[in-house]
Amino acid sequence: MELIIQNLSKTYANGVKALDNVTLSIPQGMYGLLGQNGAGKSTLMRTIATLQDADSGSAMLGDIDVLKDRDAVRQRLGYLPQDFGVYPRISAFDMMDHLALLKGVTNKAERRQLVEAMLNKVNLYEHRKKALASYSGGMRQRFGIGQALIGNPQLLIVDEPTAGLDPGERNRFYNLLAEVGESVIVILSTHIVEDVLELCSKMAIIHKGCVLYEGGPDAAVEALEGRIFSRKIEKADLARYESEYKVISNKMLAGRPLIHVFSEEPLNAGFAPVRPSLEDVFFAKIGGLN
């Protein structure tokens, strides 16, 4: 199954154009949607998840019209939004049981078996009787994936899933998503470059509602080979370098800015060529340089 999005557009009442003729082909497996906060990622995810309308365009999940046949989409959809709310005092088992009931699993014995299997899958079974309020951020996210997987969805949408997680929880979440992505379409919407690099074989960069790149992360990085240069500079010189060069990023290193510069020609004057990263790709794309 494949999700085909064509010329999808959405403008809000305040005049903000959140989606501008977005066209994407999303196959089975892990697909990264990379963009800054406010780029249009959540609007796109909410539209695909049938939570809001588009102004124009189309989206097809296999032979299902996503924009018109919402019930059919919801039967095949798992969704973990950025702000996943739960009843804090209820146990994980009871909450998962309630959600399974809402998703149509009415047989009590069948539902119990499903809930226990899902809690095992996300490595929360031994914590099933604990209140969700006692869970760490990573545990809550794993619970969120568990509820999203009830009903064996063919399309799983996760919106900013690793924001705020510590490295250990993030790795556990990576492993879980990678396992899920072996058999379904998983759209990972994030502003964290490492999430896409670690998990996704295909990706898109979206900025101000427009798709700037679609393809493989590795291919995008290779396309920048030989065109990224770095140099440590003094803080007082940053504005001058930004005016003289195409500075795509800067970060403080031992109290001094380390700048990355895009250039089609080799740079001297203290610059050194560096192997490009997906972060360089991201900043070059949104800066309109590549």
pLDDT in tens, 279-289: 999 999 999 88
Determine the average pLDDT of the residues in 109-129.
92
Task: Return d(Cα 276, Cα 279) in angstroms, integer.
Answer: 8
Query: Residue 247 pLDDT more than 90?
Result: yes
Is 194 a member of any domain?
yes
At position 126, the amino acid (one-letter code) is E
How many C-beta atoms lie closer than 10 Å to residue 87's C-beta? Answer: 12
Q: Select from 215, 236, 260 the last residue of a domain.
A: 215
Inter-residue contact 231 to 275 (CB < 8 Å):
no
Which pLDDT score is estimated for 159? 84
151's tokens:
């009903």
106 and 233, same domain (yes or no): no
Whether 251 and 172 map to the same domain: the answer is no
**H helix runs in 16-166, sequence order:** 41-48, 70-75, 92-102, 108-121, 137-148
What range does the domain containing 241 cover? 226-274
Residue 272: predicted pLDDT: 95
Q: What is the mean pLDDT of residues 114-141?
A: 90
HEC states along 279-290?
Answer: HHHHHHHHCCCC
| pLDDT band with cut points at 50, 70 and 90 for residue 178 | confident
Establish if 290 belongs to a structural domain. no
**pLDDT of 87 above 80:** no
| Model confidence band, residue 164 (pLDDT cutoffs 50, 70, 90) | confident
| 289 belongs to a structural domain | no
Q: What's the domain count of the chain?
A: 2
* 146 lies in the same domain as 177: yes
pTM of the model: 0.87
Residue 85 pLDDT > 70, yes or no?
Answer: no
